[in-house]
Structure 1
Amino acid sequence: MTDHSRRRFLKGASIAMSGLALGAGTGAASSAENQRFLVDLTAVDRSDVPNDVEIIHDVSEVDLLAARGDPSSVPGAASTMPEVTAHQDDNGPAIEHGGPKANNHNFDGTASNTELQWDKRVQDVGDLTDKPDDEQTVHDTTKGAGTRIAVVDSGVYDAHPDLEDVVNDELSENFTTDRYDWRPNGAGSHGTHVAGIIAGTNSNDGPDGGILGTAPETEIVSHRIFSGVKGEGAYLGDVIAALVSAADKGCDAANFSVGYGVAPTDESWVPIVREAYRRFTAYAREKGMVFVNSAGNSGANMTPEETISLPTEVEGTFGVSATGPIGCGWGSNHDDNEEKWLTGDRLEEPTTQPAFYTNYGDAVDVSAAGGNADLDVIGTGVPWYNDLVFSSIYTTDENGDTVAGYGWKAGTSMAAPQVAGAVALVRSLRPDASVDEVESLIQETASDAEEGETYHGAGHLDLERLVTAAE
């Protein structure tokens, strides 16, 4: 097998992953009188903001306003900050596959959907199709009932059979300035995939069944921060408003899979982004909400002295790196034995192997399943995509209709929702646990992994140990 080195990836792999795509002070209009910008309420009185400045979001809980107009009309040189945008691909899936399933995983034909969920099987999450033993599962203890998780992302397609009755449509909200609701509306299936990892109910009664989430009885609040406009990113003001609102709505965790790339610490936009998230994380912790953030897909060592990955490195953020197997149902070690397939045996690399793309370093609190890939076998006919994370998606047919489906994605975006689901499990057992207590439980019960703290932080997420400790 090949060496799955980050160096080789960074030199250039034929994978859909964008580089840094930021805009400072960019907006829908370019005139000085109609710019998007932020107002810092610690530097100017709200009453001094002119009436002709449009307030898009009032986030005075963290002393910020997201505004549009002429920033020079607001008194005080330090009272306004340029908007910063981040594109989903900066911290979205590093790799994905939406094609048909292979039919050669064992002797009984095409795999059922849950058979492809190695991430749930290795954690003994629930009673999955053809599960080869009768031991107790995580879901025998809790399925996350009574909890609420915000998915701050591209929207959630709630008509998916595994997400019906999961999304709270009254609390869900669109934080962009487009005219649509909180569903994807052309913004992509990233948020739907994430929601399935957290809360998929395995309710599809079709021949292949559905997919199962970590906490299928939790409630999802969809906060959409991306629009369907091609190339348009998420404005910082929209993002902070969405995150603060999630805390105000009593969410136990906010799952966040958006980043700003890895950049030198002296970039002009870094203090703006860092300060906005610093204020938010302090507020979220006061409100009892865990902020779960994907560590990023640049394959970089996060070293705050020289480079920074935001918001992962902001104090109060729970950063998650990604791991994944190589050779799940294929490879030189593959065995057609059904039990070995289902239990993740006969792998080239274990499910705890750091993914080729994951960021790593001091800002990682734990690692979790995000998917992996052997870049050299893509296109050779083997089902390499089995090593990615399988979850709910949607597609659009030739008539423009939305169709529920399933697909593979990999990225720290897929690792973070594993932890967000874990927060739901803990809070269902300990509703009054503080943010510090929840985070400590997840870290203290994490399993040791070979590569140590650099890639895994306190360790690799271990749901069985977690729910046992939380009982």
Structure 2
Amino acid sequence: MNTEIILKPVKIVELFKVLNVVPDNLDKIRARELWEETDQGSGSVVAVLDSGIQVDHPSLKDNVIDGYNFTDDDEGNPIIYQDYLGHGTHVAGIIAAIDNGRGITGVAPKSKLLILKVINHKGRGSFENLIQAIMYAVAWTGPNGEKVNIMNMSLGSPEPHEELYKAIKYARSKGILLVAAAGNEGDGESDTIEISYPGFYKEVVQVGSISETETPSKFSNTNVNLDFVGPGENILSAHLNSNYVELTGTSMAAPFVAGAAALIIKMVNRSRPHLIPMYVYEYLLSHALPLENFSINQVGNGFIQLK
């Protein structure tokens, strides 16, 4: 069985030292319209299972609450979860970059990030590390009693894995919403199926990518379990060396949903924690913009909207 997870290198579209144009994706998903009501996600904790983070990035450093390294990078030192790819830093920025006047802001800029590094500097990881990270996230408690509300997994493998599935179900039973990228193996055809795990598991919110003109991205995996689509092409976010770059992929679409969930979770009934993922999903479902010209295999329940 293939037990390896591989992050395919994502092409850097453009590198920005100074930003002159503010991206409009937050307005496309109507995120700012919930900021006042949800205090921009304050109190929500999103676990980012990825390649780590640039810990001192000016747009991110204030929102990193904790982290752990599950890879062999830095001789396996668990407290060094530095990002050497830029992928995890970019994903984290989409979720929770602070509004510091530099031009990018996350969907939930007051939420906190638990950085769980499961992908090494070569872009490789294992199911075993991913399982460990999921279980760590469930058990984690922050300095003020915080718990993980959401997990973002912008990664995947074509092979299912029974122990991973058990961990996924366990995390969801504890009230954690799990979000994953659909994968970038698509061929642009709606009737061919491409599957990536953990996204394909029904307990996970599987997110595909749409273009700036709200059409399905050619590379985005299509399958019957696709839940929603989010912006995934030419997405501007944080990157290594305190820079900002545009990247493309379903890896970028998933954190828009994770960030959205960090806002929504502030508004749902939290008296029964194990039902929180269902309440958040219902909110996403009731507000999604149907893209009726396309197959549900391509767009799922539609383009996420927060209002």
Alignment partner, residue 4 of structure 2: 85
For the structure 1 residues 158 and 431, does the alpha-carbon distance in structure 2 shift closer, same or farther, using more than 3 Å as the test? farther
**Alignment pair present for 1:157 and 2:54:** yes
For the structure 1 residues 424 and 98, does the alpha-carbon distance in structure 2 shift closer, same or farther, using more than 3 Å as the test? same
* Letter of the structure 2 residue corresponding to residue 88 of structure 1: L
Alignment partner, residue 143 of structure 2: none
Give how far 1:358 is off: 0.5
* Letter of the structure 2 residue corresponding to residue 354 of structure 1: P
Give how far 1:303 is off: 8.4
What is the aligned counterpart of 2:223 among 358, 361, 381? 361
What is the aligned counterpart of 1:407 among 242, 245, 250? 245
* Letter of the structure 2 residue corresponding to residue 369 of structure 1: P
In structure 1, C-alpha distance between the alignment counterparts of 2:111 and 2:103, rounded to whole Å: 17
What SS does structure 2 have at the residue aligned with 1:227? coil
Within 5 Å, which residues of 2 pair with 1:249-398? 249=140, 250-261=147-158, 270=159, 273-300=160-187, 308-325=195-212, 350=213, 352-371=214-233, 388-394=234-240
CA contact (8 A) 2:288 2:304 kept: yes
Alignment partner, residue 441 of structure 1: 283
Give how far 1:284 is off: 1.0
Provide Cα deviations, 1:110-158, integer angstroms capped at 9, x if missing partner: 9625x2x1312323433xxxxxxxxxx3323221111100000000113
Within 5 Å, which residues of 2 pair with 1:114-129? 115=22, 117-126=23-32
Within 5 Å, which residues of 2 pair with 1:91-106? 93=10, 95-100=11-16
Identify the structure with bigger relative contact order (alpha carbons < 8 Å, sequence gap 6+): 2
Report the TM-score when normalising by structure 1. 0.58
In structure 2, C-alpha distance between the alignment counterparts of 1:434 and 1:248, rounded to whole Å: 17
* Letter of the structure 1 residue corresponding to residue 242 of structure 2: A
Alignment partner, residue 421 of structure 1: 259
For the structure 1 residues 166 and 100, does the alpha-carbon distance in structure 2 shift closer, same or farther, using more than 3 Å as the test? closer
What is the aligned counterpart of 2:96 among 199, 220, 240? 199
In structure 2, C-alpha distance between the alignment counterparts of 1:415 and 1:147, rounded to whole Å: 19
In structure 2, C-alpha distance between the alignment counterparts of 1:179 and 1:309, rounded to whole Å: 27
**Alignment pair present for 1:461 and 2:307:** no
CA contact (8 A) 1:185 1:227 kept: no
Alignment partner, residue 108 of structure 2: 215
* Letter of the structure 2 residue corresponding to residue 147 of structure 1: S
For the structure 1 residues 225 and 158, does the alpha-carbon distance in structure 2 shift closer, same or farther, using more than 3 Å as the test? same
**Alignment pair present for 1:140 and 2:27:** no
Identity percentage of aligned residues: 27
For the structure 1 residues 196 and 111, does the alpha-carbon distance in structure 2 shift closer, same or farther, using more than 3 Å as the test? closer
What is the aligned counterpart of 2:138 among 247, 252, 260? 247
In structure 1, C-alpha distance between the alignment counterparts of 2:105 and 2:166, rounded to whole Å: 35
Instruction: Note the aligned Cα RMSD (angstroms).
Output: 2.4
Give how far 1:430 is off: 2.5
For the structure 1 residues 164 and 111, does the alpha-carbon distance in structure 2 shift closer, same or farther, using more than 3 Å as the test? closer
Number of residues paired by the alignment? 292
Structure index of larger Rg: 1
CA contact (8 A) 2:182 2:220 kept: yes
For the structure 1 residues 307 and 160, does the alpha-carbon distance in structure 2 shift closer, same or farther, using more than 3 Å as the test? closer
In structure 2, C-alpha distance between the alignment counterparts of 1:144 and 1:452, rounded to whole Å: 32
Provide Cα deviations, 1:304-351, integer angstroms capped at 9, x if missing partner: 9x86432222231110000122xxxxxxxxxxxxxxxxxxxxxxxx2x
Give how far 1:185 is off: 3.6
Structure 2: gaps (5+ residues): 141-146
Give how far 1:190 is off: 0.5
For the structure 1 residues 217 and 458, does the alpha-carbon distance in structure 2 shift closer, same or farther, using more than 3 Å as the test? same
Alignment partner, residue 10 of structure 1: none
* Letter of the structure 1 residue corresponding to residue 176 of structure 2: M
Within 5 Å, which residues of 2 pair with 1:53-64? none
* Letter of the structure 2 residue corresponding to residue 295 of structure 1: A
* Letter of the structure 2 residue corresponding to residue 240 of structure 1: I
Report the TM-score when normalising by structure 2. 0.87
Provide Cα deviations, 1:210-258, integer angstroms capped at 9, x if missing partner: 3101001111000001222x3x620111111101211222311110011
In structure 1, C-alpha distance between the alignment counterparts of 2:264 and 2:301, rounded to whole Å: 17
* Letter of the structure 1 residue corresponding to residue 302 of structure 2: G
